[in-house]
Structure 1
């Protein structure tokens, strides 16, 4: 396959049972490329290895004072030189093509798996590991595929040269044929410890990288509590451990390299000593001695690829193991579905918890455990990553629908939505019903100040919609990112919209206006909001309290604040209580209601103004 033909039309179904099986599967799928590189490699290495025979023939021609044979030797050497150049050029081209196409195949497989698993992927595999597999590990796997291209040609050339030397000069050829396998495979006993040391180094480097990422991500908080030096000391210690592990690994690999240099030298000394002995006895000619000597010298070049394939395999094996682990993950449900793709409508209910979201209403869900709330929000979208009965929409189990149909019917926005880099117009270019305009979605999410901030950061953009958003929206505050993500979700206008803590990073005044905006824009549509904010809860048509994985109470925010101690404990951040509300608890509830009334009065004053 040519590089310009990428991506692969179909990357195939990988054998992800183990790392070596995955590498074997990848090699079989690169068979045409491997054969191409083998052909060019044979041309290159055979031409290189034929040079000593030409040299020996030329030397013998000089000894015999044969000008014709000397001219023929010169012509053969020129031909070998041209073949060497052409073969090396196209071998490099074919080998690098194998590397790139193999890496592209793995990346396509990982991208397809990530798209199929969705949020379930990062719940089962750390996000950092996914990034490591799709970047550094992919390159190491590609390196092994490329090394196989060269090694196969080099190994076949060494075999052919050994056979040729035995036929050409049996006395010295046998010495070379016996010595070369020893030289080629002498480093094999050193590979297991070298691989273990390399694995330890990669493990320690991964830990140091995770620690650095966590430190950078939480630097603002660490500075606030004066803990940045503590974490920096931890990173210094981790980096020193990486350095020490790298030195230990390098020592082993340097020993392997030394063996690969020492043993060919000893073989060459043995061949020269024995060859001189045979020449003095008249059993071989000077030209034959020069030929065998030069062949051993030249064979050091293809023998280097034995060391390269060993290193490539030792580094790619753990990478392939990690890639196979990710690629072996499967959804608990069939993404193809067992029903027609027609999107249902009606009430959304979860048999596992008893949660019911009536059609056309805004339902707020209060859950004391944020992680449990996130898992429940994911369940409501169907095809969840955890086992359990399927959520039903209008009586139709979402798990029985095709995955894309379930996602079109129920859109779930988690608590940490991602903003892709690009223009605001690109961000809002999402599949939508067409009933909600971008302006209406931005207005409901209270994004006016966000548009101003983007316009100031993109002075060359005449239209705020053309303003650039940096990677993951890092130039924006947490609240601004949340509001843009909310606007994107509102724009899609799905049958059911599930929002997990959509306003956790905005101030109370903006939050109240967002609550009104969402309620108005989603009027007549089913919406479910996971939150503990009184401002959002007070605007909901009904509020559901989920406790210990089950619906514990249903009502309005004000009724539950008076009557349900567990609800009051979550919403007011007061200690939980199972008994009847005491005077202090009632006072907290009343104070909460007074705050809501004041905010409503302020909104009325603003609207009047």
Structure 2
């Protein structure tokens, strides 16, 4: 089967009703690969099972002094060996294809989900868990999907061997036919404890990964405050918990492995003992005894596959459960579309029914939230991409020109409203690549960089990139902008969204990492570069608030005051308390 080019053009729409449904869907999506693997597995194990027959015929021919029979048996053994080798190669090739395809398909689904939900994904599921699903879990899922075909082949060959032995020796055939299922079922009592311990191990592993990611992301800050040892101790404790869970899991798995060796071995010994008694009584020949022994010993191969399948099922069900949890997060159903007129800059008001906030078209509106979590949820709703867990009731959607953003295709919602997160990410690459984004073309990179007061960032990038030859646009940005300070990263990210020039721009604390002088210049430039564009700034900085056309205070989840910054300082005591960091009660007493 030709190898499919990865990534897939479309990974499909998975069945997320349950982990088992998801695994079945993956199998159905590669039907041809599954049946080819079953075919080659049957060929390989069928030739392996038939080889003892050829050996038995040869031995019997030697006992009977039949030279021609010996040559015929040798030729048959050679042919079966060649068939087995060919089947083994083709089976391995197809099994790897099935495994890689299932793993890649799952990884693409997770990546598509992360892209569709954006920053809201990490607010519902820990980053460490997402990383675990995208790495270790997809491998386990691919392993199980690949193994299903080999299990089918093992069962087919076991039935065929049982039928042949049953015809030749009914009692031995019955033992073979019934013994394998009994031995396979004997592993079931250990599956429950193994699955529970493996689930605990994966959960602890996800937390340790999340802690490691947080530590690496904040390494510069930790070094500044001398907190490396504290976080190192935390990670050491988390890793030891993972190690302990892995040891507990391995204990159960070792028992399962030992059982898969001991019980089939005892079964082969018992069948062989009975066959020797038949041969001693003259009821079967020596060659037939060898064939019966070989066929019985072969059954260890299907039993190993069944044991491997039990292990794979235990870990894959846990991994598939984690994957379906991520993939089940959703927006409300897409329907309708934004008209070009509504999505045009400065044409439509943006309204949030949850808080009562209305952002007038073409104006710079600042929003002050007493609760940071309210600000985070508001930013998500204004962008039209709030993820929903199964069974969760959604918040009412924000509306642009009266049209619900959650009810339009996500690509259209993002093209109309761009949300700039408070912790933006800079991907590695050149500065020119950073600005290779969809944009209106009205604002160039140089103008956006100037408005974000990021000229000094260009100097830092050039100094760190000798290969750029003094050209800032060829200077390289390291992974997540690690070589830059927090303020430099923030200003460079702000320049990127200003260059995009969306019809509606939502900025969440865009200047939290810069000094007051730089913040003042950014505020003035922001007002100028976003003229006649709709802009929302979620902030509590007086320098930004003073540049806004309208300032809105949200307290207790609802809009409680509206006006300019200077007006609200005199008329809204709680606004003054939030913005100036004064004690709210003192402000109220002063007003009285």
Distance 1:71 1:468 in 2: 72
Contact 1:391 1:399 in 2 (8 A): yes
Seen in structure 2, the aligned counterparts of structure 1 residues 170 and 315 have a Cα distance that, compared at 3 Å, is same
Kindly indicate whether the alpha-carbon contact (under 8 Å) linking 1:140 and 1:316 is maintained by their aligned counterparts in 2.
yes
Aligned mates of 1:215, 1:389 — CA distance in 2: 36
Q: Any gaps of 5 or more consecutive residues in structure 2?
A: 389-393
Q: CA deviation at 1:215?
A: 4.0
Distance 2:489 2:226 in 1: 27
Query: Is residue 348 from structure 1 mapped to residue 350 from structure 2 by the alignment?
Result: yes
User: Is 1:541 matched with 2:549?
Assistant: yes
Rounded to whole Å, the distance in 2 between the matches of 1:487 and 1:499 is: 12
Alignment of 1:551-562 (within 5 A): 551-562=559-570
Q: Partners in 1 of 2:512 and 2:239 — Cα distance?
A: 36
**How big is the shift at 1:505?**
0.6
Question: Given the superposition, is the C-alpha separation of residues 575 and 163 from structure 1 closer, same or farther in structure 2, using an over 3 Å criterion?
Answer: same
- Quote the offset at 1:203 in angstroms: 2.4
Write the distance in 2 (CA, Å) between the matches of 1:341 and 1:103: 40
Moved more, 356-365 or 210-219: 210-219
Q: Deviations over 1:536-567 (max 9, x none)?
A: 11222222222222222222222322332211
Q: Judge conservation of contact 2:129–2:207 (CA < 8 Å) in 1.
A: no
1:594 is matched with which residue? none
On the 8 A contact 1:366/1:531 being kept in 2, the answer is: yes
Alignment partner, residue 598 of structure 1 = none
Three-state SS of the structure 2 residue aligned to 1:582 is helix
Deviation at 1:226, TM superposition (A): 5.6
Cα separation, partners in 2 of 1:167 and 1:498, compared to 1, 3 Å: same
Q: How does 1:501-516 map to 2 (within 5 A)?
A: 501-516=509-524
> Secondary structure at 1:577's aligned position in 2?
helix
Cα displacement (A) at 1:97: 0.4
TM-superposed CA distance for 1:260, in Å, is: 1.1
- Alignment partners' CA distance in 2, 1:240 and 1:407: 43
Quote the Cα distance in structure 2 between the aligned partners of 1:419 and 1:497.
Answer: 18
Q: Indicate whether 1:366 and 2:365 are aligned.
A: no
- In structure 2, the residue corresponding to 1:527 is in which secondary structure? strand
Aligned to 1:600: none
Q: What displacement does 1:223 show?
A: 5.5
Q: TM-score, normalised by structure 1?
A: 0.90
**What is the CA–CA distance in structure 1 between the aligned matches of 2:417 and 2:181, rounded to whole Å?**
64
2:381 is matched with: 379
Shift of 1:75: 0.8
With over 3 angstroms needed to count, the CA separation of the structure-2 counterparts of 1:399 and 1:13, relative to structure 1, is closer
Could you tell me how far apart the structure 1 residues matched to 2:170 and 2:408 are? 73
SS state at 1:349 partner: strand
Residue 467 of structure 2 aligns to a residue whose secondary structure is coil
The 5 Å alignment of 1:432-511 reads 432-462=439-469, 463-511=471-519
What is the rounded CA distance, in whole Å, between the counterparts of 2:399 and 2:197 in structure 1?
A: 52
> Do the aligned residues in 2 keep the contact of 1:3 with 1:100 (CA within 8 Å)?
no
Within 5 A, what are the aligned runs for 1:320-331?
Answer: 320-331=320-331
Distance 1:249 1:395 in 2: 55
Residue aligning to 1:39: 39
Distance 1:239 1:80, change over 3 A: same
Contact kept in structure 2, 1:341 and 1:402, CA below 8 Å: no
When residues 208 and 114 of structure 1 are mapped into structure 2, their CA distance, relative to the original with a 3 A threshold, is closer
1:341/1:10 CA distance change after superposition, 3 Å: farther
Give the deviation of 1:123 after TM superposition: 2.8
The answer on whether the counterparts of 2:350 and 2:360 sit within 8 Å (CA) in structure 1 is yes
In 1, Cα distance between equivalents of 2:241 and 2:30: 38
Identify if the C-alpha distance between structure 1 residues 116 and 189 changes in structure 2 by more than 3 Å, giving closer, same or farther.
same
Question: CA–CA distance in 1 between the matches of 2:208 and 2:395?
Answer: 37
**Coordinate RMSD, CA, aligned:** 2.3
Partner of 1:102: 102
Greater CA drift, 369-378 or 353-362: 353-362
Q: Which residue of 2 aligns with 1:550?
A: 558
Q: Residue in 1 aligned with 2:139? A: 139
Change (3 A) 1:249 1:404: closer
Mark the CA change 1:320 to 1:397 in structure 2 (over 3 Å): closer, same or farther: closer
Matching residue within 518, 527, 530 for 2:526: 518
- The aligned residue for residue 424 of structure 1 is 431
- Please list the CA deviations of residues 125-172 of structure 1 after superposition, one character each: whole Å capped at 9, or x if unmatched: 223222221221111100101111222212211221111122233343
What is residue 16 of structure 2 aligned with on the other side? 16
Q: Across the two proteins, how many residue pairs are aligned to each other?
A: 583
SS in 2 for 1:82: helix
Q: TM-score, normalised by structure 2?
A: 0.93
Q: Which residue of 1 aligns with 2:391?
A: none
Deviation at 1:233, TM superposition (A): 3.5
Q: Which moved more, 1:170-179 or 1:419-428?
A: 170-179
Sort the Cα spacing of 1:328 and 1:350 in 2 relative to 1 into closer, same or farther, 3 A: closer
Q: Which moved more, 1:547-556 or 1:491-500?
A: 547-556
What residue in structure 2 maps to residue 566 of structure 1?
A: 574
